[in-house]
Amino acid sequence: MMSKKFVVSSSPHLRSPDSIRSIMIDVLIALFPVVLMSVLLFGYRALITIILSALAAMATEALALRRGNFFGDGSAAVTGLLLALTLPVAPPWWLVIIGAVSAIVVGKLVYGGTGCNIFNPALVGRAILVISWGSHMAGDVWLCPEPYAFTADLVTSATPLATGQAPLLDLFLGTVPGALGETSALAILIGAFWLFYKGHICWRIPGSFIGVVFLLGLTQGGITAGLWHVLAGGVMLGAFFMATDMVTSPYTPAGKVIYGAGCGLITMVIRLFGNYPEGVTFAILLMNALTPLIDNYTVPKKFGEVKRNHA
């Protein structure tokens, strides 16, 4: 017994319980209120879109990696879900599937899989859909929500960003036309709170993102306009769930602030001067591309390093 051989490895000998999988499960939990709200507002069509997108994403990854485990590390499920939440309520079924497949293949797998991608996969999927099938992704495809009417027929309408009209309270609760998951700031905040609580996101990216949008919104007509720009469109969903994607955002503390502020700036530039009514998707994708550069220029000062300019 005493001559027993032990396992030898290099310290540390304890590992934190968090894994990629557990983080992804936490993100799924955080998305639950958003999904719930979209089903409450938009009925069964929302549920179909969401399930279709998530399943297509997971199936694509499982097939491509020839993996027995359908769920895997859970990142495909998150990508599929996030993609669905940026779609209109009832797009054609093939649109959802093409979006999910291209999100996984073009957005992630071609770079080498989880951790290697440069751009947020869900937004890559969305961008491909917006460019390819603009008529299904913008304009009069947005349905007016009918709370608690699960199977009601919904009327189409333009989004608040296109019309420029909607009371702030409706924007906060989500009872406005828009993409599945972006309308209800309330649901997004509940989900984001869970991510904060679990320590998966910090204030830096969402804070600077929303802060810049608010500040630039102020110039459009005071505090109401500022709040309106924050609550309308995809800023809330983008700031808390898309821009905070770990793989495609900077890892240095200062870099996160710069990145978030850049997202806010580009969003507002597109909204105020661009052709698209909404700019969150392209703002985040553009800042994704800048992420390695931002990281490179915001390397923190080492402990004890003298804080003075090196000539």
Partner 1 sequence: MSNFGQHLTRGILHDNPVFRLVLGMCPTLAITVLAVNALGMGLSVIVVLVCSNVVISLLREVIPSKVRIPAYIIIIATFVTLVDMLLNAFSPDLHRALGIFIPLIVVNCIILGRAEAFARKHPVLPSLADGLAIGVGYTLTLLVLATIREVFGSGTFFGLSLFGESFQPMLLLASPPGAFITLGLLMAAFNYLYKKLEVSQKKRRSKQSAGDVTVPAVGTDVPKGG
Partner 2 sequence: MGLRTFAGGVRPGHYKITADLPITPARVPEQVVIPLHQNIGAPCEPAVQVGDSVKVGQLIGTPKGFVSAPIHASVSGKVVKIAPYNHPLGNPVEAIFIENDGQDTPWEGMKPHKPLEELSADELRKIAQEAGLVGLGGATFPTHVKLSPPKENPIDTVIINAAECEPFLTADHRLLLEKTEDVILGLRAFMKVLNADKGIIGIEDNKPDAIEQVSKALAESAGEENIELCILSAKYPQGAEKMLIKATVGREVPPGALPMAVNVVNQNTGTAVAMAEAIKLGKPLYERVVTVTGPGIKKPANLLVRVGTLVKDLIEQCGGMTDDARKLILGGPMMGLAQPSADVPAIKGTSGVLLLTEKEVKQYSIVPCIKCGRCVDVCPMRLLPNLLGSYVEMGLVEEAEKAGAMDCFECGSCTYICPAKRPLVQWIRMAKGEIAARRKK
Q: Within the chain, where are the H helices?
A: 20-42, 44-64, 75-85, 93-105, 121-132, 134-137, 160-163, 168-173, 185-198, 204-218, 222-231, 235-237, 253-273, 280-297
Is residue 98 a contact residue for partner 1 (CB under 8 A)?
yes
* Residue 106 contacts partner 1 per CB under 8 A: yes
1 lies in the binding site for partner 2 (CB under 8 A): yes
> Which amino acid is present at 291?
T
Q: How many residues bind partner 1 (CB under 8 A)?
A: 9
Peptide bond into 160 cis (omega under 30): no
Q: Which of 248, 255, 252, 253 is nearest to 283 (CA)?
A: 248
Which of the choices partner 2, partner 1, none does residue 128 contact, using the CB cut-off of 5 to 8 A by kind?
Answer: partner 1
What is the C-alpha to C-alpha distance for residues 281 and 86, in angstroms, rounded to an integer?
9
Residue of 19, 63, 134, 272 interacting with partner 1 (CB under 8 A):
134
- Least CB distance to partner 1 at residue 139 (A): 15
Q: Any contact of residue 308 with partner 2 (CB under 8 A)?
A: no
Tell me the C-alpha distance between 271 and 267, whole Å. 6
Q: Which of 21, 63, 115, 132 binds partner 1 (CB under 8 A)?
A: 132
Does 97 bind partner 1 (CB under 8 A)? Our answer is no
The CA distance from 94 to 31, in Å, is 24
Build a one-symbol-per-residue string for 251-280: x at contacts with partner 2 by CB under 8 A, - elsewhere: xxx--x------------------------
> How many residues in the chain?
311
134 vs 300 by CB, closer to partner 1:
134
Q: Which residues are near partner 1 by CB under 8 A?
A: 98, 106, 110, 128, 131-134, 136
